[in-house]
Structure 1
């Protein structure tokens, strides 16, 4: 990728489309160089996928440079909550009536495949901080939110399977617990990040301290917001997304309508400390430096996760049920969920069609799959679920990876033509 990166970006392909077959070729169905037991190593895989997901969520939050009071936030909020719930419900019904799964497995299938991915198809994300395109903003924000909002539904599925740790999600208080988890997660992550970033900027601007080490600031904010959220029984994924949003909000408040790049300007060699301590430039410099570092981590995380997915799929094998589930998800469930979620919202027909198509599945689904495998329930059902989910995610990586570039280029040409008119 280091040698072919420039060429790769010109092709109608995503990097994940390269990583997936390499992982498959390394696994048992290929050269057999790598064997991975997802059942015996579920705890380790959960940790690895959790870290990758946290990195991607923080990155997405940093890219959304729009005030929280702006109406455009209604789109990802509707997709990330209402759309996720509709998707989970419809897939659960399909799991029960089409595939004959027990209720708990059917609910778990719907919950695992409901989160969209904020990473795997970069062409449909916001291009840079401040990108207000309604399609890209909606899909990016949705991917940042629904990895967290899917958590209560996953726990409901585990409760139906008799998992003791999920018993609270079968009580009458479960809806209130879910609401609290979302609100507490966002609030704790947002407030913690805002406090830490303001402190760092104060130290830089008034005392010329806390300079450099944006890498530690990034990892520290991710870890602290995630941990504090869990202490107050919030959803950690939402907290980390909110932490990224909060850092970007501080930059936006200081920079105003000026883009971060314009605010920072050219940085002469060796003059970074002067920019990092400048009263106006410091917030933009911090946000952009952290974003740059986090995006590098995101590339590595994407590579590792999709490679693991390919290896696991090589061992589990393709599933006909997974192919059918993917067809139902992308051709029926996703379009219906988008239509219902956006009722009453003013969006163009083309934007809605593309939102309905680009419900990309990836790291979030992989995380919740291995998360569920940690618990004790029927092994034959585990094996069936693993094969179905991995097949559906692999199909998403291939189909959306091929279609993202040409469809988005056509979308941009059409929008530009309207502007020119």
Structure 2
């Protein structure tokens, strides 16, 4: 596909989305559904103007998916207005670690006994499909920095944490396939693939996000310097944090999320109810250098740019996923596996992972249903392919993963708006907060 044709397609889609944005919010249709359909129409099954191949183009696809996830994780970190030490995080942590580990175990069992995969391959498939998606879950994400709704906060936090927390299981699956060194009795895996990468990633991201944020606020309020170019600041912090984490053998996904979380915690919290227009409508330089508003201005500016960047990245990746669908071979067993994943394995894992939690029955039901699969799964799939996944397994994994992502985009996209509207009409009780 030529650059001119890419420009035409992307430009037309961006303008169409801008003109129809208000209408789409009222319809049970997600943006990702439209991107997927357009991508399918532009692929070999339609006009044939783009034909990405999931195996031949695996290296490029891994990088594109990686960048998209990083942008999204930074954006969600900026939205979640509580430190990881706050009690409100206990549900997202249980979903992202306990429920996800159980989902991986359940998928691995289905992979061994249903598909006939070797144990390592089955664990790897579970690690690819278990993480929920922070990119495609806009309908169920927190609405702003002060949104403490238990359901929205839990699903947003889960999608942010488990994209990094799945990495140890990816490495475990590769190790069991003989493609990665797990060490004697798994010692190397525990130390260098699990404990340090998770803890180190959160630590590195938290430190860099806080330091850079405080430095910018200090320079603006005390010296009237470092004003403007907040877009460079957002991209620079993402790149700096990711690079530092990777060089430190920690998980960059968790580091970038922690950096966003730490950045929005710099300075005084934004007063509840402060409209974005207040920041945008006044003189920018005066707000950026005012000691009372500098932190809020920084957060608003960085978050606004990052959200727009996230939408463009989502459009590009989902278009490519749609175009790849005609090139995949979906195993026959996926016909029963995908419904089992959404209606059985994910709900069972969430039910067990949330035993004894204060979440209401309705909230647990919604948490179980909205296990949205998407760009994170594409990244882990391409990562495995590029790290020597045997061709036979790679072909099956590509078919299962892309089919699962496509079905998730459709069923969760159709159900997201009406279900969240119903949830929004519920009576407000203490247990819902």
TM-score class, shorter: over 0.9
Q: CA deviation at 1:70?
A: 2.2
Instruction: State the Cα deviation string for residues 204-224 of structure 1 (Å, max 9, x = none).
Output: 001110001111110111111
Normalising by structure 1, report the TM-score: 0.94
CA contact (8 A) 1:61 1:245 kept: yes
Say whether 1:255 aligns with 2:269. Answer: yes
Q: CA deviation at 1:279?
A: 0.5
State the match for 1:292 in structure 2.
304
Identify which range, 117-126 or 25-34, moves more after superposition: 25-34
For 1:318 and 1:263, how far apart are their aligned partners in 2?
46
State the match for 2:59 in structure 1.
43
Say whether 1:144 aligns with 2:156. Answer: no
CA contact (8 A) 2:246 2:252 kept: yes
Aligned mate of 1:176, from 181, 191, 205: 191
CA contact (8 A) 1:193 1:247 kept: yes
5 Å-filtered alignment, 1:20-169, equals: 20-164=36-180, 166-168=181-183
> How many residues are aligned here?
414
CA contact (8 A) 1:260 1:288 kept: no
Structure 1 residues 67 and 156: CA distance shift in structure 2, 3 A: closer
Structure 1 residues 46 and 283: CA distance shift in structure 2, 3 A: same
State the match for 2:24 in structure 1.
8
The Cα RMSD (Å) is: 1.9
For 2:215 and 2:155, how far apart are their aligned partners in 1?
32
Q: CA deviation at 1:317?
A: 4.4
CA contact (8 A) 1:186 1:238 kept: yes
Q: CA deviation at 1:234?
A: 1.0
For 2:300 and 2:321, how far apart are their aligned partners in 1?
31
State the match for 2:413 in structure 1.
401
Q: CA deviation at 1:267?
A: 4.7
Say whether 1:265 aligns with 2:315. Answer: no
Aligned mate of 1:225, from 241, 247, 266: 241
CA contact (8 A) 1:115 1:143 kept: yes
Say whether 1:282 aligns with 2:294. Answer: yes
Q: CA deviation at 1:266?
A: 5.4
Gaps of 5+ in 2: 1-16
1:233 match: secondary structure = coil
Instruction: State the Cα deviation string for residues 175-229 of structure 1 (Å, max 9, x = none).
Output: 2330111100000000011001101111000111000111111011111111111
For 1:25 and 1:156, how far apart are their aligned partners in 2?
38
State the match for 1:381 in structure 2.
393
CA contact (8 A) 1:255 1:263 kept: no
Q: CA deviation at 1:163?
A: 1.4
Gaps of 5+ in 1: none
CA contact (8 A) 2:96 2:161 kept: yes
Identify which range, 13-22 or 115-124, moves more after superposition: 115-124
Q: CA deviation at 1:167?
A: 4.5
For 1:95 and 1:365, how far apart are their aligned partners in 2?
16
CA contact (8 A) 1:156 1:169 kept: no
For 2:184 and 2:58, how far apart are their aligned partners in 1?
22
Normalising by structure 2, report the TM-score: 0.91
CA contact (8 A) 2:329 2:395 kept: no
Instruction: State the Cα deviation string for residues 251-275 of structure 1 (Å, max 9, x = none).
Output: 5xx136x137359835546x10000
State the match for 1:187 in structure 2.
203
